[in-house]
Each structure stands twice: as structure tokens, then as C-alpha cells.
Structure 1
Amino acid sequence: MSNVPAVDPPTNCTLQTCPVATSFYSYRINLAANLAFLILFSLLTLSYLAIWLLIRRGHTYATVMILGTISEIIGYAGRVWSYYDQWNETPYLIQIICLTIAPAFYSAGVYLCLAGIVRVFGEGNSRVRPLWYTYIFVPCDVIALVLQAAGGALAATSIDGASDAAELNTGVDILLAGLSWQVFTLTCFIVLCGDLAWRIRRRCRAMGADVALSQDPESVGIRKPKRFQYFLGALALATILILWRCAYRVAELNDGFSGPITYKQGLFIGFEGVLIIVAATLMVVAHPIVCLRGNVIGNSEKTTDKA
């Protein structure tokens, strides 16, 4: 990456004494939008927590989704704080790190669902055993999370211009690598999901659904209600939205923290806030712990295991 200039706003600035273009954001933060996201993610956190406590299944799924929404809450709280002082470095760093890593928790939640989906349709329809999807994709997501957190922290602590520009560049490069890895992993996941859907369709046509699909009574009971079809559609759309958001952040950071996309608040609200709030809402409305009866991760031999 070419040299990424550090953001170095004037000290002791206020809206009355300095142009907003000299702040960390270079635009006036939209308070209403950020408050709305803060409230909505707070409600989603309560929803995930309530379902978890009520059903008492899917502990891993509930944990990663709640961690994701809490990260969003902290991030948007940082942006609301910044609204009152856009030259304050602390809230700026908070929102950079928390909003960058939050969707990695959601993609982990998506990955946890595939093993259960395979078991519901029947393991014979998959190229690999169900838990291998978890074993492959969750560690990949952890790598993306670690890279994003480390890169974001390094870049954020160097962004005031006090540190060597090389340190800032290194942080941005690591952060960009984490986001790019997440895009690659999500793309591979979508390809495998498409392959699974194609194999299920082909086998049902060739053999009949009674043979191609699992006839285990619980699997049949999960597949039969319309809510299972809604769940599959909601999960697919949420995955695409998370991928879209990550691709946007890759484009945004391609020129570092001072690229032209970075300073377009409308793009940030639409492609960061709106996309993720819709994805997180889809994953609580069509909750896999309900639609899969808790069968998110666990023993590959039973669909009744608690995650």
C-alpha cells in the first residue's frame, strides 16, 4: 500500500472554532442515524439474550451473536460521543475498532448453522461431514477477527500522527488483510452452500425426496414447517449482506483512513449500519435455535444435540 497519511486534527478544536473538515471524520456526524443504530442494536441484544434464556440451547451461537451486537453498541456509542466532540481521539478509536470487528461475530453465527442444516437434509447430500463446515469456517473467522482487531488497534493508536507513518500503514494493511480474508471466506462459504443446494435438488430429482432426504422423524419435523424455508432464505440474505458490508469496508480502506470513500457518511450509514442491522435482525427473526430446534452445532450423529 502507498503511504497512508495520518489524521492529525488541530488541538482544542470545537465546532465554533474549527471547520468540521479538520476533525477525524471530516463531516458532521448524523446524530439521529447513529442513535437509531445504537437503540436498534440494544434491542437486538435483548432479543438474542431473551431467546437464549428462554430456550436454553445454542449457547455458542447466542454467545457470538450477542458479542456482535455488544460490539455494535459500543461502536455506535463511540460515534454518538464523537458527535459532541469530533476532535476527541478516544471515541474515534472506539468506533473504528468495534464497528470493524463486529460483523466477524455474525459471520461466525452463520457458519455455525450449516452443520445443522446439513443434518436436517441428510448427510448424504453433503460432500463433507457436517461438523467439518464448523471446523473449517469458524477458525477462518477467528483469523479474520484477530487480524481486524490487531490491525485496527495498531492503526487506531497511530492515527493521530504522533507515531511513525509506517506503523499506521502496517496497521491498515493488517486490518485490510483481515477484511479481505473475511470476504474470501464468506465467498467460499456461499459457493459451498450453493453446491449443497444443487446436490440436494439433483438427488431429489434422481432418487425422490423420500430417499434423498433424511427421514429421521425430527429432521422431517424441522423441514416441514414454512418457518424452515423462511429461515433458509433469511440466512442466505443475511450472509450476502455481511459479505456486501465487508466488501465495502475493503474498498473503503484500500486507500487507508484518508481515502475518498472514508469521508462519505451516506455510504457508511447505508453499507455499514443498514446492511448489518438488517442482517442481525434477519438472524433473530428467523432464529436458528428456534427453526433448527437448537441444532446449530454439536454431535454429527444427532439433530437433538444442544449447541
Structure 2
Amino acid sequence: MPASNYDGPIDWDAFATYCRANPKATICGDYCMARPDDALCAAVPSYYKYRVSLAANAVFLALFSLSFLLFLSTYIFTRRGLAFSIALLLGVACEIIGYVGRILSWKNQWQENGFLIQIICLTIGPAFMAAGIYFCLRRIVYAFGPKNSRIRPEWYTRIFIPCDVISLVLQAAGGGIASVASHNGDPVDTGDNIMIAGLSFQVLTLLIFMACSIDFGFNAWRRFKSMGTAAFDQSAAALKLRSSWLFHAFLAALTLATVCIFWRSVYRVAELSKGWDGPLMYRQGLFIGFEGVMVVVACLALNAFHPSVCMRDVMEGAGGIGSKGKKGKMNADGTEGFDMLEPPKSEPVSDADTSRIGAAH
């Protein structure tokens, strides 16, 4: 029970005397929650088991705030890639809220609210970013030509986006259950296990996604070796896109972002696998390097080489070059085609019309 909730007057001197002799006692956490600036609290365990770094968290908050503004500005100016933009904005917003929570914890790391805010928001944020990454592969396939893919381009989003939603729901539900349990003083094991299940499913989904991406790249390279440039879409727009340095830079940025999100997700599974009191939860340096740095690098890489700028011709409609919002369809020969405007249908000519035409001549 927090010291501020004890009935009657509180003898702070008695609290301090006891906690100097027994800094790891639960009651000392209550004391430090009420008086976080007391020097004796340096030896009293908190939710973090370390002193939260204000400098590191302030830097991450500033960088994610900048990233949010860049993603928002890019969409406002380009009006392309709505789904990608929404996914990244939601993910970065979670990061911003999470680091606000950690800064609140720096002020008082024995308070529960800041800890719960950061553990939930920083856990689910990259799941939104992964969704944005999944949206891009379909459009990359169109840039090279659907024949180079083992599956139809639209199936990349149909497969991976639902998997990402499942992962997100599990992580959010687990975080909520664990938060309620923590607030009530109950064990958080059930919620923590659900969070781990969501993170593990995210790792598996990302692993399969990377395998599919590598498979597509290998197939494209193999067909190019046997067929030359005929293996790729030969439209003028596609040729121009593939020759652009921005497009190649985007591919590198997307690869970097995917690896960073994957590595971060593996780390979070390991971190939470022993519960909120696990040994990795005590290592602030690992958290900064494998959580903060990995995610901010992924975001800034996609800010610098945004798909709506680097491959603008495939960021609208179905994703095909020059589709202009029409729904793409696969032709019988396996090439990608698009619905065209149908010519006006001629009306049937009646016998009376035929007679009038003949009289006119």
C-alpha cells in the first residue's frame, strides 16, 4: 500500500530509518513513491530496477516526434500511400507516448502509471510499423513484374496484414491484462504470457515475410539471368522507376527497417520471457540499444526514403504501374493488366431505322 494511503499521520522519520536498514523491503517502495527525491531511494528497488536515463529517453522522444512530423508532412504533400502512412503514424505515436511514460518514470520510478504506459505502448508500437512494411512488398512486386513472384502481389497484404492484426491484438490484450493485475497487486504472469505470444507471432510473421521477400528477389534474379530484361515489366514507367537511385535507396531502407524491427522483436521476446522481474529487464543499456535504437533507425530510414516519394508511380490504386486507382487483374498469360474503359455499346438497329437509312440514300 502506498505511504500516502495509510490511515492516520505518517511518521516519515520512522519510514526513513527502517528503509535505510532494509532498502529492499516492499514498504520502502511505498516510501520512495511518496518521496522519490530522498537520497536513500537510490538503493530501493523500483519497477525498473535501475535509474531511468532522462537524456536517452528525451533524445528518443525528440527523434520520434520528428519522425511523426515527417511522416505526416510527406503524406500531406504527396497524398499517396495512405495505408502505409496510417500504419507508421500509429506506430510512431505509440513510441512517443511510451517515451513520455519513461520520462514520467524518471521523475518517479516507483509510480506505476509511467511504467505501464511505456511497457504497453513501446511493445505494440512496432507492430503498426511492421504493417506498413508489409504494404510495401506488393508494390515492389508490381515494379518488377508479377511474373517474378510465386504468389499474386495482392496476397502479400492479404496474408501478412491479418497476421499483424492478430499479433497486435494479443500484445494489446496481454498488456491490458497485465496492467490490471499489476494495479491490483496480483501476479502479471497471464498478461505477460499473452504479450509474449503476440510478440512471438510477430517474430514468426516477420521471419516468413523476409523469407518471401528473399524468395521473390531470388526468382527475379534467376529469371533475369535466363531472360535478360524481358523478365521484368518493360513499360516506360517501370523502366524509369527501376533505374531511379531513389527506388534503390528505398529498397535498402526498407530492408534495414525490416531487420531492425525483427531484431527488436526478438529482443523483446527474450526480455519478457522471464516476466517483469527477469534479468534482461534490469539492463537499461540493452533496452536502449535493442529497443530504442533499432526502432528509431527503422523509422528514420523510412522517413529519409519514403515510398510515396521513392516509388510514387506504384503507391496508388492496386499498385501497378500507371494503374491510376483501377483494380489490377491478372491476364491469362500471367501478366498484370488493368480494367480499361469499355467502348459505348451500340444499340440494336430496328427494321424502321433500316428503312429510314435506305430512304436517305
TM band (smaller chain): over 0.9
Distance 2:59 2:122 in 1: 15
Is 1:295–1:306's contact at 8 Å kept on the other side of the alignment? no
- The aligned counterpart of 1:261 is 280
Structure-to-structure mapping, 1:177-216, within 5 angstroms? 177-209=197-229, 211-216=230-235
Higher relative contact order (CA 8 A, sep 6+): 1
- The aligned counterpart of 1:244 is 263
Aligned partner of 2:314: which letter?
Answer: N
Structure-to-structure mapping, 1:115-264, within 5 angstroms? 115-160=138-183, 162-163=185-186, 165=187, 168-209=188-229, 211-264=230-283
Cα offset, 1:159, TM superposition: 2.3
Is 1:176–1:253's contact at 8 Å kept on the other side of the alignment? yes
Which structure 1 segments of 5+ residues have no match? 1-6
Distance 1:70 1:79 in 2: 14
Distance 1:294 1:76, change over 3 A: farther
Is 1:108–1:141's contact at 8 Å kept on the other side of the alignment? yes
Is 1:147–1:177's contact at 8 Å kept on the other side of the alignment? yes
Structure-to-structure mapping, 1:78-97, within 5 angstroms? 78-97=101-120
- State percent identity of aligned pairs: 46
Is 2:238–2:321's contact at 8 Å kept on the other side of the alignment? no
Cα offset, 1:9, TM superposition: 7.1
| 2:305 paired residue among 272, 286, 290 | 286
- For residues 168-216 of structure 1, what are the alpha-carbon distances to aligned partners after superposition, in whole Å with 9 as ceiling and x for unaligned? 211011000000000000000000100001000000010111x100012
- For residues 137-189 of structure 1, what are the alpha-carbon distances to aligned partners after superposition, in whole Å with 9 as ceiling and x for unaligned? 011111111111110111122225622x2xx2110110000000000000000
More deviation in 105-114 or 20-29? 20-29
Cα offset, 1:18, TM superposition: 2.6
- The aligned counterpart of 1:40 is 63
Distance 1:231 1:306 in 2: 22
- For residues 202-248 of structure 1, what are the alpha-carbon distances to aligned partners after superposition, in whole Å with 9 as ceiling and x for unaligned? 00010111x10001222112111111111111111110110000000
Is 1:97–1:149's contact at 8 Å kept on the other side of the alignment? yes
Cα offset, 1:12, TM superposition: 3.5
Cα offset, 1:10, TM superposition: 2.2
- The aligned counterpart of 2:15 is none
Is 1:41–1:73's contact at 8 Å kept on the other side of the alignment? yes
Distance 1:296 1:141 in 2: 21
Distance 2:317 2:31 in 1: 55
RMSD of aligned C-alpha atoms? 1.8
- The aligned counterpart of 1:4 is none
- Aligned residue pair count: 297
Distance 2:202 2:62 in 1: 27
Other structure's SS at 2:276 match: helix
Is 1:58–1:306's contact at 8 Å kept on the other side of the alignment? no
More deviation in 16-25 or 149-158? 16-25
Is 2:174–2:191's contact at 8 Å kept on the other side of the alignment? yes
Is 1:146–1:178's contact at 8 Å kept on the other side of the alignment? yes
Cα offset, 1:78, TM superposition: 0.6
Which structure 2 segments of 5+ residues have no match? 1-25, 327-361
Other structure's SS at 1:11 match: helix
| 2:292 paired residue among 273, 297, 307 | 273
- The aligned counterpart of 2:50 is 27
Larger Rg: 2
